[in-house]
Chain A
């Protein structure tokens, strides 16, 4: 069964460094999403992406964040200058046309020290 994959599973970085989190959505999906979950808290929407542009973003998704679909398979989330409060689990999700169903990846745990 097709699934969303994410790499790395765990990323440790120093405050102020740039990180890129990678996702490979399900191959025929057209809508892509990033979410984050700070330890012990709710999952929060960050951004949705369709047709090579951002569809919607939350107030969390400020100028430090960017997303890109550099080729036909990858979908990336870049954090330009990480802060301690960026430490969280980051989930990628994708959705096909004509369905509400979003499929989540296993997540990348980002630890900022």
Chain B
């Protein structure tokens, strides 16, 4: 069964600090891995999408890495801001031949404190 596991479940950091969120997946076949930011009660918003051949991708203060061999990804947030407080969800897509179903992780709930 396809699964995406994230750690930690929750994290509290001080404003201005960096943090790294982890994602492990067992999705096959593999098409791409995405990181989403979800504010409470809102829809997920895409931060990065990486395909099999990409090791790293940045979007402003967010940098995602992908190791397709070990089936791990990380999301690094630099110089955190209060507005970064949200859930960060790792999502893996099976190959296009399996449709475009997304398997969602449970998310890491990040709280940035002043």
Chain A residues within 8 Å of B, Cβ to Cβ = 4, 31, 33, 35, 41-45, 48, 55-56, 58, 89, 91, 93, 95, 100-107, 109
**A58–B100 CB distance below 8 A:** no
**B99–A104 CB distance below 8 A:** no
**A43–B49 CB distance below 8 A:** no
Give the nearest-CB partner of A41 in chain B: B106
Q: How far is the CA of A36 from the CA of B51 in the complex (A)?
A: 25
Chain B residues within 8 Å of A, Cβ to Cβ = 31-32, 34, 41-46, 49, 51, 89, 91, 93, 99-107
**A44–B101 CB distance below 8 A:** no
Question: Which of B42, B46, B91, B100 is the one whose CB lies under 8 Å from A107?
Answer: B42
**B101–A58 CB distance below 8 A:** yes
Which residues of chain A come closer than 8 Å to B106, judged between CB atoms?
41-42
Interface SS, B side: strand
Given contacts A43-B89, A100-B100, A104-B44, 5 further A-B contacts (CB under 8 A): A42-B104, A45-B104, A100-B49, A101-B49, A105-B43
A-B contacts, 5 of them at CB < 8 A, read: A31-B100, A91-B43, A104-B45, A107-B41, A109-B41
Give the nearest-CB partner of B93 in chain A: A100
**A95–B43 CB distance below 8 A:** no
**B104–A43 CB distance below 8 A:** yes
**B101–A106 CB distance below 8 A:** no
CB distance from B19 to the nearest CB of A (A): 21
Which residues of chain A come closer than 8 Å to B104, judged between CB atoms?
42-45
**B31–A56 CB distance below 8 A:** no
Give the nearest-CB partner of B51 in chain A: A100
Give the nearest-CB partner of B46 in chain A: A101
Q: How far is the CA of A102 from the CA of B102 in the complex (A)?
A: 10
Among B93, B100, B107, find the residue whose CB has the most chain A CB atoms closer than 10 A.
B100
**A45–B102 CB distance below 8 A:** yes
Which residues of chain A come closer than 8 Å to B103, judged between CB atoms?
45
Among A4, A58, A100, A105, find the residue whose CB has the most chain B CB atoms closer than 10 A.
A100
